[in-house]
Amino acid sequence: MGAALLPDAAFGILPRCSIAPRHPLICRITSTRLIRKRNYFFADKRVSKSAHIVFSHTNDSDDTFTDVVVDQDSGRNEVIGIEDELMIAKKALSEAHHRQEVIEKERDQLLEELARSEAKKQEYITTILHDKEVAIGELEAAKSLFQKNLEESVAEKFTLESKLVLAKQDAVDLAVQVEKLAEVAFQQATSHILEDAQLRISSAETTAAEAAHLIEKQIKDATEGTISSIVEKSNYAIERALVVAEEAGELAKKSMETFIDGTSPFTEIAAVQAENIKLQGIISDIESQLMIARNEADKLKLELEITRQQLQAFEQRANDAEKALLDFQESSRKNTLKQEEEMKSILEKVKKDVAERMKAVSKAFKADLKNTKATVEAAKEVVHCKDYAYLRRCEALQRSLKASEDALKMWRQRAEMVETLLSKERLHDEGDEDSIYVVNGGRIDLLTDVDSQKWKLLSDGPRREIPQWMARRIKAVSPKFPPKKIDVAEALTSKFRSLELPTVDEVWSIAQEKPKEGDALIEHVYERETIERKRKALESALQRKTIQWQRAPEQTKLEPGTGTGTGREIVFQGFNWESWRRGWYLELAAKTADLSHCGVTAVWLPPPTQSVSPQGYMPSDLYNLNSSYGSVEELKYCIEEMHSQDLMALGDVVLNHRCAQKQSPNGVWNIFGGNLAWGPEAIVCDDPNFEGRGNPSSGDIFHAAPNIDHSQDFVRKDIKGWLNWLRNDIGFDGWRLDFVRGFSGTYVKEYIEASNPVFAIGEYWDSLAYEHGSLCYNQDAHRQRIINWINATGGTSSAFDITTKGILHSALHNEYWRLIDPQGKPTGVMGWWPSRAVTFLENHDTGSTQGHWPFPRDKLMQGYAYILTHPGTPVIFYDHFYDFGIHDVITELIEARRQAGIHCRSSIKIYHANNEGYVAHVGDALVMKLGQFDWNPSKENQLDGSWQKFVDKGTDYQVWLRQ
């Protein structure tokens, strides 16, 4: 039989299908069937047979397939079975198509997850880089902190040097302790910084490793899950396709057998072959998809490898950072060793200087001891002279007593003569029995027989005036004396006649006699007066020029080349802002006796030089002392009056700026006249108004006048010469330094060492810390700036305690807790360096007619009670002392300070400081209270001894002194 050619219409095209896992095989066939007749050809013959062709068309796809059914009664059942099988195959292919769509969606989801993984990877990389930058920043911060600690160590070194100057005898032990403390503090600070940096770097490395591990795990899980899913789906699709193919083959065989038995089997064979071809296409498509999935898995593996390489790079960077940290630690250790060696060398130098100074102090002490011995010898000589004078006086008194005894003998002889005369007269007048003359006892016995009169002559001498009580007693004695040895009854009945005895003036005429020339008493008096004058002169000289070794060193020690005084100064500001309007020097000279009597030891005088402003703070010709306050002669007279009352004179010197006398060719006032004829080279170059040619300023600029360049050698030489002229020729004892913020404190040290003042005060004015308009409790930064300036002067100058003034403004309004810091000390400069703190309430700037920062008027006496009973050097303002009516109250507080022995270095213990009041124990012998706090020394268990109230002003303040 020949081959049968079947038309194309007899076969349907199988559509592509996708395999969707986890879903059952569901085939939905919607079709319309058309039956038509067809002709079949066998070889060359044409066989015409009537048959029904069933076409099935699906609306879901463009592909169609045709079911061929032999419209014969004998083969209808077999054709319907084939149709059912074909319907099942169609359903499987539809399900495969649906599965393909699901796989595409999952592939899209995988791509999205990959993109998210990439984004997370970039985020982790950014985080790691940020952590690296943070670690580097922390390393830089550690480095800056190390530098800051180093600077603080240097500042601490200067503080130690200043303390070593103040405590020479304990300098060596103190230096060793400071060295140990600095070493421990430095090691602790550096170890803390390095440990913190190492921990932060370790944390960054751990974070980076965890992030990398997490990324790797996520990518690995996603890749393995995707590949396994794709492989499982592919195997399942292949197995299902093979099963379908085998079933189709079996059906095809059956169909062939049926067609062989029937009329036309070739149509079924062709259909089965077409199905097989389509199944092979489906398998090839699945294999291609599997290849694509494998390629995507390879890409993911490549990306994973790149991520691992990046992690290795991050680990390398972390290792580099760790190595840099180790290098930094090594360099820090080397720098630490270097700093320790430098500190050791500095401390050795300080020890050497201290040893030299100790030798100098020992030498000076030996000289003082020698002077003291000479003084003791002189005192012994004075005592010997005094004893010799007393011996001579006793000899003179003995001579006087002998003369008195001679006079007494003469009076007795006269009495005996009178008695004899009276006896004779009585013999002649025997008839007058009632007339009785008293001859025994009486006035003479009263004056001569009492031993007390002899001792009176021996002790007081015969030439003293009659005491008033003795004169009254003598006048009260009646000249009529009864008989000494008669009966009382007889005395009452007898009549007697009084003797005509000498009068009182005649008896005591020896007391009214004047010394005669050549008398020993006159020589004794003259000699005594001469010795007394010599003794007073010697004591005055010893008080001014020697140190008494019996007193404590802190009470009398005057360090050479420093302006710190003895520690017991009480300064009086002797002017206000309007004092220039009258002859002030003469007016102040008249008050020196009162100031000295009240306990003041030093007077701060106004600026003495000629000035553009009448107050004196814009000086021009420094050597011209004829100012608005008076002439140079009046100034010298005022200083002499102060010296006569043992008062020191402090001159107000303005060294920061000076007004020029001439203009430059440019019209700028920068040419000075007088003895110090400077030019623009003496003015700092950063002064914006006066075209200076000097070096930059070492402080703040005072814009009202040219600022002097103290770095110039000729300027410092001229200023030192001027200060020495004021000191030696005019008579000033010390300085008040105006506006010291304008130039470095090192120049102040040079000027003080050159002029050698007894006392010096610097005005370092700075603003306190405020928050929301209220004064901050912590003012450590403010007082530290003042301490830094004092350190810059080498401790040679004191400074105004502006911190304490500002705190008192608020503390005295029931905020007494402001007067104690966390260490239990006062909150001003007084709490840190009391021997250099000069406390005050007002001056010519803050008070007077300017009133820039006046002290509360109702708290004025509480303020003086605080500064006059506490360590430091207190200052009393002229207006308060003479114009506010509190002269006697301030004098009383000064007396309390004197009796308690309070000085600038006195110890202080604060017992209470709250809203109700303030209580402090100062020194060893004074306790004071401020405010309405109900307290007295008996209520404090830690206070021993007996206390007596010295000043009581109720709720304002109270002062107790130890009995």
Which residues are catalytic, by number?
738, 763
Q: For residues 813 and 579, is the Cβ–Cβ distance under 8 A?
A: no
Token pair for 439: 């001859």
Cα–Cα–Cα angle for 411, 416, 419, nearest 5°? 125
> 687, 665, 663, 683: which is closest to 673 by C-alpha?
663
Distance CA 385, CA 930 (A): 54
Q: Which long-range contacts (CB under 8 A, 24 or more apart) does 412-415 make?
A: 412/444, 412/448, 415/439, 415/444
Half-sphere exposure of 861 (CA within 13 A, CB side): 22
670: left (phi over 0), alpha (psi -120 to 50) or beta: alpha
Distance CA 608, CA 587 (A): 15
Residues with Cβ within 8 Å of 729's Cβ and at least 6 positions away in sequence, in order, are: none
931: left (phi over 0), alpha (psi -120 to 50) or beta: left
Half-sphere exposure of 190 (CA within 13 A, CB side): 20
Q: For residues 106 and 22, is the Cβ–Cβ distance under 8 A?
A: no
Q: Determine the 3-state secondary structure of 879 from DSSP.
A: helix
Q: For residues 258 and 268, is the Cβ–Cβ distance under 8 A?
A: yes
> 577, 564, 584: which is closest to 615 by C-alpha?
577
Token pair for 651: 């001159």
701: burial class by Cβ within 10 Å (0-12, 13-18, 19+)?
middle
Q: Which long-range contacts (CB under 8 A, 24 or more apart) does 688-697 make?
A: 690/660, 691/664, 691/666, 697/742, 697/743
SS (H, E, C) 926-946: EEEEEECCCCCHHHCCCCCCC
Cα–chain center distance at 553 = 30
SS (H, E, C) 124-169: HHHHHHHHHHHHHHHHHHHHHHHHHHHHHHHHHHHHHHHHHHHCCC
Distance CA 67, CA 186 (A): 99
Strands 917-922 and 908-913 turn out to be antiparallel
Token pair for 731: 């008579």
Q: For residues 14 and 271, is the Cβ–Cβ distance under 8 A?
A: no
- DSSP letters, 12-33, are PPPPP----TTS----------
Distance CA 563, CA 569 (A): 12
Distance CA 819, CA 922 (A): 14
Task: Supply the DSSP symbol for 1.
Answer: -
- H runs (alpha helix) in 712-823: 713-725, 745-755, 780-792, 802-811
Strands 770-771 and 837-839 turn out to be unpaired
Distance CA 146, CA 332 (A): 9
Distance CA 150, CA 461 (A): 81
Q: For residues 720 and 730, is the Cβ–Cβ distance under 8 A?
A: no
